[in-house]
Amino acid sequence: MKATAIAPANIAFIKYWGKADPVTRVPQNNSISMNLSELHTTTTVEFDASFTEDSITFLDEGVVKKAEILKITNALDRIRVYSGVTLHAKVVTRNNFPKATGIASSASGFAALIVASLAALGKDTSNKNELSRLARLFSGTACRSIPDGFVEWEQGHNHESSYAVQIFPPDWWDIRDVVAIVTEEMKAVGSTEGHAIADTSLLYKARLSSVDAKIHAIKDAMQRKDFSVFGRILEEDSFNMHAVALTSSTPLVYWEPQTITIIKAVFALRAAGKAQGYVTIDAGPTVHVICESKDEENIVRVLQKISGVLRVVENKPARGARLWAEHLF
Ligand code: PMV
What is the DSSP secondary-structure string of 12-32? EEE----EEETTTTEESS-EE
- What average pLDDT score do residues 112-124 get? 97
CB-CB contact of 267 with 275 (8 Å): no
CB-CB contact of 272 with 140 (8 Å): no
How many Å lie between the centroid of ligand 1 and the Cα of residue 15? 7
What pLDDT band is residue 67 in, cutting at 50, 70 and 90? confident
- What average pLDDT score do residues 126-155 get? 98
What 8-state DSSP symbol labels residue 139?
-
Residues paired with 318 in a beta bridge? none
Q: Whose CA is nearest to atom 8 of ligand 1?
A: 282
How many Å lie between the centroid of ligand 1 and the Cα of residue 103? 9
31: helix, strand or coil? strand
The pairing of strands 31-48 and 88-95 is antiparallel
**pLDDT tens figures, 37-47:** 999 999 999 99
Relative to the CA of 31, which ligand 1 atom is closest?
A: 13
**pLDDT tens figures, 213-232:** 999 999 999 999 999 999 99
Q: What is the pTM of this model?
A: 0.96
Residue 10: pLDDT above 70?
Answer: yes
Mutate to test the pocket of ligand 1, among 15, 99, 145 (most ligand atoms within 8 A of CB): 15
How many Å lie between the centroid of ligand 1 and the Cα of residue 51? 34
Q: What is the pLDDT of residue 62?
A: 67
Q: Which residues neighbour 148 within 8 Å (Cβ) at sequence distance 6 or greater?
A: 35, 166, 169, 170, 318, 319, 320
**pLDDT tens figures, 98-111:** 665 556 579 999 99
Q: What is the pLDDT of residue 99?
A: 61
How many Å lie between the centroid of ligand 1 and the Cα of residue 45? 25
Cβ count near 277 (within 10 Å): 27
Ligand 1, CB cutoff 6 Å, lining residues: 12, 15-16, 31, 104, 106, 139-141, 191-192, 195, 282-283
Q: Whose CA is nearest to atom 4 of ligand 1?
A: 191
Q: What is the pLDDT of residue 104?
A: 57
- What average pLDDT score do residues 306-310 get? 94
**pLDDT tens figures, 161-206:** 999 999 999 999 999 999 999 987 766 677 888 999 999 999 999 9
How many Å lie between the centroid of ligand 1 and the Cα of residue 329? 30
Q: How far apart are CA 253 and CA 274, in angstroms?
A: 30
- What average pLDDT score do residues 25-31 get? 98
Q: Whose CA is nearest to atom 14 of ligand 1?
A: 12
Q: What is the pLDDT of residue 3?
A: 98
- What average pLDDT score do residues 27-53 get? 97
What is the identity of the amino acid at 171?
D
